[in-house]
Structure 1
Amino acid sequence: MSGLFGGTTAAASNAATATQGSITNDIPINNPPEDSIQDLSWSPQSNHLSVASWDNKVRIYEINGEGQSAGKALIDLGAPALSTCWSKDGTKVFAAGANKQVSMLDLGSGSTTPQVVAAHDAPIKCVESITVNNSPMIVTGSWDKTIKYWDLRQQTPAASVQCKERVYAMDTRDQLLVVATADRWVEIFNLNQPSQPYKQIQSPLKWQTRTISCFADATGFAIGSIEGRCAIQYVEEKDASSNFSFKCHRQNAPNTRDQSNVYSVNSISFHPVHGTFSTAGSDGTFHFWDKDAKHRLKGYPEVGGSISCTDFSHDGNIFAYAVSYDWHQGYSGNNPQYPNKVMLHPVIGDECKPRPNSKKR
C-alpha cells in the first residue's frame, strides 16, 4: 500500500533486509494511557482502536490514513481495565476489568455513559464478541474459573460454564472459542454448542500460558508461554500431524556460547487477510511468521521496552503494538521512565504475505 503513514513501499524495502523489518515509519498514538497497557482491539469495521490500561480506563482512538490519532471516547472502570473488544458491527465497545464487570459504550447511539452488561465473582480477564445462533453476544472469562455468555438484551447470563482453572487468555474466530486457563489447560468450544467444551487439552508447552489466538480460518490456534515458545495446534485429530512448536523471543546471553535469555511471549495476532501471524514479547521485539511454511517472514528491532499486546486492523494494513512494562521482572523492574505508548506500524509490501509455495489452509 503506497504512501501509508507517509512512507512508500520502496522506502520500506530499502530500510530492511529480507528478514529484518523496519520500524522507521511507526507512529505513536497521541495521549496514550498513563499506566501499563493490558489489551488492544481494533474495530472490525473501521480504523478505530480501543486500548485497556491499568490506569482504569479504556480509551477509543480514531486513526486516519496518515497514522494520526485522535481520542474519541473513554470508559472509566474505576479499577484496572484488563480486556476490550468491539461488537461485530463496530458500534459498541466493551471494557472488562478488575471491578468484576463489563461496561459497554454504544458509540452508535452517541451516548457517553457506559452501561454495565456483565458481571463475575472475581476480576474479568477477557471479553470477546461472538455470534451464537445468529444472535450477537459477548463471552467473558474470569479468575472465578468460569466463562459466561451474555445476550445484551438480558441482565443475567445466557449460560455459565465452569472451567478447570482461572481464565488467563481467550480468543474466538467464527464458531471457534479457545480458553486458556491456569495449570496450562486449554478448553475448546464450538459455539454451535457453547455450553460445554468440545475438547479439553493441556498446552503442548511446558510453562504457563501467556496468550492464545485463533487461526484466521478457525481450524486451530497458536499459544504462547512465559518460556519463549509458541505452539501451533489444530483442533481436529486429522490435522494433528501439522502441530508443532518453536522457540522465539530469546537472546544469546552475553559472553556465553550455549545460554539464552528467555522472554515471555505476551501476544499473538493473526493477519485477517493472509493468515500469517505475529508474536511479541518481553524482549521488546515483534516478528511476523508463516505457520504453513514454518518460516519467519520478518523480525523487527527492539522497540525500547516490553511489548504487552498487539492487534491487526480489520483490513490488515496497520499493526498496533503497546510498549509498556509487563511486570516480567516484578516490582523491581519498573521505573517512572519506562515507556508507555501504543505504536502503529504500517504493513507494507510483502511483510505479512505467506511464502509463495506455502500450502493454504
Structure 2
Amino acid sequence: MSAALTPMPGRELSNPPSDGISNLRFSNHSDLLLVSSWDKSVRLYDASANVLRGEFKHGGGVLDCCFHDDSSGFSASADCTVRRYVFSSGKEDILGRHDAPVRCVEYSYGAGQVITGSWDKTLKCWDPRGASGQEHTLVGTYPQPERVYSLSLVGNRLVVATAGRHVNVYDLRNMSQPEQRRESSLKYQTRCVRCYPNGTGFALSSVEGRVAMEFFDLSEVGQSKKYAFKCHRKSEAGRDTVYPVNAIAFHPIYGTFATGGCDGYVNVWDGNNKKRLYQYSRYPTSIAALSFSRDGRLLAVASSYTFEEGDIPYDLL
C-alpha cells in the first residue's frame, strides 16, 4: 500500500503507512503532504524531497487530515476525537470529540475554524485558538440528516454529503441552517464531494461509477448546466463491471479534475468539454484518495485496498 506521486513516471513515497490510506492532502503553501491511515497514524512528508518529516498517532484508525498551515494540522479519527499537531515540536492535543467516529475534517481560513463531520450525524465547528485540550473551543454543533461521509469548502461555502444521498450547502457566516438542502442526483451512495475552485458548484461521486457536476445557482439557467457521467467501469462480454469512485481532486489552475476508483485507475477530465483527457497506468489496488499540489505540478495518489472485496489476506494484494 503506497502513496505514489505523478505525473509519470510516478514514484513511491518512502516510509509509507503500514495499513490502508484514508486520505492525503497537500499544503496550500508548499509541497508538504499530510497522509492519514488506518494504521492509526498521521504522517507529514516533504513530497518533493521524498522525506518523512514527522509521524503522529491516534487511538484508532485516522479517517481524514488537513493542514492549518505549514506548521500545524488536524486529524479526524475512528476513536471519536479531533486532534491538532504542531509539526516542529511534535506536540499534539485533542481539539474535541464526537459521539461516533469522525469521518471528515476541514480548516476554513476565512472563518478561522476547524469543521468536522461525524457518523454521529453532526457537523461541529471548533476554534483552534482556544486553550490546549479545552472543550470550550467548540463553536457550534449542527445536526445532519444522516452520517457525514464527505465535506468540501470553497470560500464561505461548505458542502456536506451524508448517507441517504443528502447534500447540505452552508454559508459559514451563518451556520444556523443550510443555505440549500439537496438530494444527490446520483441514485446510489455518495463517496466524495469536492467544490469547484472557481466557487460555482461541486462534483459528487458515487459507489456506482458515476460523477455528477452540480451548480450552486438554483435558477433554471444555472441548473441547466448540471450533468452526470459514467466512469470507472469496464465492459466484458457485454457485461458492465462498475466500480466506486472514491476520490475527486481539482487542478488548482486549469479547472480540470482527476477521479480515482476501485478499478485502480486515475482519470483526468475536462469538465467544460465533457471529455476524458488522460488515464494513468493502473495502480495495484483501489485509489483511495487524490490531491494536487498548490501549483498543480504534483498529484498525490493513495493506492490502497478499500475492502471492496471484503477482508482478504495481505499476501493476495
Q: TM-score category by the smaller chain?
A: over 0.9
| C-alpha distance 247-318 of structure 1, shift in aligned 2 (>3 A) | same
Deviation at 1:198, TM superposition (A): 0.6
| C-alpha distance 205-135 of structure 1, shift in aligned 2 (>3 A) | closer
Provide the C-alpha distance between the structure 1 equivalents of 2:169 and 2:297, rounded to a whole number of angstroms.
Answer: 30
5 Å-filtered alignment, 1:202-217, equals: 202-217=183-198
Provide the C-alpha distance between the structure 1 equivalents of 2:316 and 2:287, rounded to a whole number of angstroms.
Answer: 12
- Give 2:164's match in structure 1, choosing from 166, 176, 183: 183
- Give 1:243's match in structure 2, choosing from 221, 226, 231: 226
Aligned to 2:30: 46
Deviation at 1:194, TM superposition (A): 2.4
Q: Does residue 313 of structure 1 match 2:293?
A: yes
Rg larger for: 1
Aligned to 2:84: 104
Which stretches of structure 1, 4 residues or longer, exceed 6 Å deviation after superposition?
none
Q: TM-score, normalised by structure 2?
A: 0.93
Aligned to 2:209: 228
1:304-354 per-residue CA deviation (whole Å, 9 max, x = no partner) reads 1111111101111100011110011112xx331366xxxxxxxxxxxxxxx
SS in 2 for 1:337: helix
Q: Does residue 123 of structure 1 match 2:101?
A: yes
Task: Check the 8 A contact 1:159/1:195 in 2, yes or no.
Answer: no
- Give 2:70's match in structure 1, choosing from 77, 90, 111: 90
Aligned to 2:200: 219
- Give 2:255's match in structure 1, choosing from 265, 268, 275: 275
Aligned to 1:141: 117
Q: Does residue 152 of structure 1 match 2:133?
A: no
Q: Does residue 173 of structure 1 match 2:173?
A: no
Provide the C-alpha distance between the structure 2 equivalents of 1:320 and 1:23, rounded to a whole number of angstroms.
Answer: 9
Deviation at 1:136, TM superposition (A): 1.3
Give unmatched runs, 5+ long, in structure 2: none
Q: Does residue 69 of structure 1 match 2:50?
A: yes
Aligned to 1:296: 276
Question: Which AA in structure 1 matches 2:279?
Answer: G
Question: Which AA in structure 2 matches 1:38?
Answer: S
SS in 2 for 1:103: strand
Deviation at 1:303, TM superposition (A): 1.3
Task: Check the 8 A contact 1:168/1:182 in 2, yes or no.
Answer: yes
SS in 1 for 2:224: helix
Provide the C-alpha distance between the structure 1 equivalents of 2:111 and 2:283, rounded to a whole number of angstroms.
Answer: 41
> Would you tell me which structure has more strand in proportion to its own residues?
2
Deviation at 1:274, TM superposition (A): 1.1
1:86-130 per-residue CA deviation (whole Å, 9 max, x = no partner) reads 01x3321111101111111123xx221211112111110000001
Provide the C-alpha distance between the structure 2 equivalents of 1:123 and 1:117, rounded to a whole number of angstroms.
Answer: 14
% identity of equivalent residues: 37
Provide the C-alpha distance between the structure 2 equivalents of 1:305 and 1:269, rounded to a whole number of angstroms.
Answer: 18
Matched length:
306
Task: Check the 8 A contact 2:7/2:298 in 1, yes or no.
Answer: no
Task: Check the 8 A contact 2:111/2:173 in 1, yes or no.
Answer: no
